[in-house]
Structure 1
Amino acid sequence: MSTVLLIEDETELARVAQSYLEKAGFQVILASRGDTGLSLFRQHKPDLVLLDLNLPGMDGLDVAREIRRQSDVPLIMVTARVEETDRLIGLELGADDYIVKPYSVRELVARVRAVLRRFNRSSGGSQILREGNLEVDLDTHTVKRGDEEIFLTPTEFQLLSTLMAQPGRVFTRLQLLEAIQGVAYEGYERTIDAHIKNLRAKIEEDPHHPHYVETVFGVGYRFRKG
């Protein structure tokens, strides 16, 4: 049974979300404050964190920052903030997905399942993708650049392996969103740009002049051949 840490200060919303998640087979730990949530994260080491951005005690973005300093655990932001910059900051901090209030609890459960699926996905046998000094092991979910191991979030790993498996193919943002989430939620495709930015910062020698992940202007992205 996977454990979900839900950090949410709206009591009724937290109760309903907990009920649906538990019916879906998850164990749920609740926190109503950012600082409390961070303490529970360190104590219980959950399989996934659902994190509201507007929290008493400690702001959600600060909680996300601290979590990412310690772990690559799957992280979904839950926010009522309408400013796109807030969502992009969260994604750049390493969040794997976000969902905006008010939301359908069924959609929330679907997002949790999708993120955990790509985190736990196993190909059944060791499959390694290589290009230049970059190596991606699909079985162990490890990435190396030369002798250096690079730590990616589940979303970044799935994004890289999707692009790398078909070098030269141009993927639209919607196609990449569907590849990493299992479904493309309309209006969310621009979040791919934030994930690509994070990915380049980790795998490229010079993220501002990327060698591996190329932008195809007006279309999307591709992994460079050779």
Structure 2
Amino acid sequence: MPAKILVVDDEISIRRLLRNTLERAGYTVVEAVDARSAIACAAAEHPSAILLDLGLPDRDGLSLIPVLRRDGDAVILVVSARDSTDEKVAALDLGADDFVTKPFDSDELLARLRVALRHRATADTAPKLVRKGGLTIDLDRRVVTRDGEELHLTRKEHEVLAVLARHSGRVVTHDKIIAAAWGGDEDPRIEYLRIVIRNLRQKLEAPDPVGSVIANELGVGYRLRTDS
């Protein structure tokens, strides 16, 4: 059965665009025009994913995220014209899986949706191996190899990379990475995280890489790019 996607947006042109894009990709689409109908539709239709606009007529979309997260297990992908760093961080911290800014590229949106759905499908059995080209991250054994050769990482580099690998393909906010990698006993500044990321990039990327293995979401966090 094709995955069912709930589109929540009060603009008919955006709903039409998203419906056409999603249906061409093989998804089943249901729609809601405001927060109230979104809650009802999510409860009745049990969608696999929700594409959520934040500028809804009856309620701010940010306040809707924890409600949808509490009442169901659908992937929540925010699709909004709001592009401030604070809004993106707030959405992710409230439980959104990803954030796509309008106007959006349809192919990128579909790719983000596929990654989020794949991650949710394997959430109960977290991936043991994460691959990107010749790079392999073995989370169980804490071993990282590139083209079959083991890379030597520091303990902190392993911990930061493990956080990103467990959420591969998805943006992880600075605060979440720091909380997971440093814990409650340490209170590092974000500069320490940037140093660890810089060192990881130098070790993980092959000479003349096509693109960075670890992508920077400016002011928000980092994303581990993986093979689609």
How would you bin the TM-score normalised by the shorter chain? 0.5 to 0.7
Larger Rg: 2
Residue aligned with 2:18, SS: helix
- Paired residues, number: 172
What is aligned with 1:193?
174
Give 5+ residue unaligned stretches, structure 2. Answer: 128-136, 144-154, 201-228
- Alpha-carbon deviation of 1:82? 2.5
Provide closer, same or farther for how the CA distance between residues 218 and 5 of structure 1 changes in structure 2, counting only shifts above 3 A: same
Residue 154 (structure 2) pairs with residue 166 (structure 1) = no
The Cα RMSD (Å) is: 3.5
Tell me, in whole angstroms, the C-alpha distance in 2 between the residues paired with 1:9 and 1:177.
35
Tell me: CA distance 1:165–1:26, structure 2 relative to 1, closer, same or farther (3 Å): farther
Quick one: distance in 1 between partners of 2:87 and 2:73?
20
CA distance in 2, matches of 1:162, 1:55: 42
Q: 1:18 to 1:12 in 2, by over 3 A?
A: same
- C-alpha displacement at 1:217, in angstroms? 5.1
Distance 1:164-1:58 versus aligned 2 partners, 3 A rule? farther
Classify 1:216/1:102 alpha carbon distance in 2 versus 1 (closer, same or farther; 3 Å): closer
Unaligned runs of 5+ in 1: 123-135, 140-160, 183-188
User: Is contact 1:47–1:73 with CA below 8 Å preserved after alignment?
Assistant: yes
Q: Is the 8 A contact 1:162 1:179 kept in 2?
A: no
Whether 1:138 aligns to 2:126 is: yes
Measured in 1, the distance between the counterparts of 2:9 and 2:175 equals 24
In structure 2, the partner of 1:5 is: 6
SS in 2 for 1:103: coil
Equivalent-residue separation in structure 1 for 2:70 and 2:166 (angstroms): 28
Query: For residues 12 and 33 of structure 2, what CA distance do their matches in structure 1 show?
Result: 8
Distance 1:119 1:84, change over 3 A: same
Matched position secondary structure for 2:68: helix
C-alpha distance in structure 2 between counterparts of 1:38 and 1:45, whole Å: 10
Matched, 1:218 2:195: yes
TM-fit CA distance, 1:32: 1.3
Residue 75 of structure 2 corresponds to 74
Q: State how far apart, in whole Å, the 2-side matches of 1:33 and 1:162 are.
A: 43
Alignment of 1:1-226 (within 5 A): 1-121=2-122, 137-138=125-126, 166=142, 168=155, 170=157, 176=164, 180-181=168-169, 191-196=172-177, 200=180, 207=184, 209=186, 216=193, 218-220=195-197
Give the drift of 1:92: 0.5
Measured against aligned partners, the alpha-carbon deviations of 1:147-196 in whole angstroms (never above 9, x if no partner) come to xxxxxxxxxxxxxx9766627372678x93896118xxxxxx6x432543
Q: Secondary structure at the match of 1:181?
A: coil
CA contact (8 A) 2:75 2:97 kept: yes
Letter in 1 for 2:106: V
Change (3 A) 1:218 1:59: same
Instruction: Name the counterpart of 1:125.
Output: none
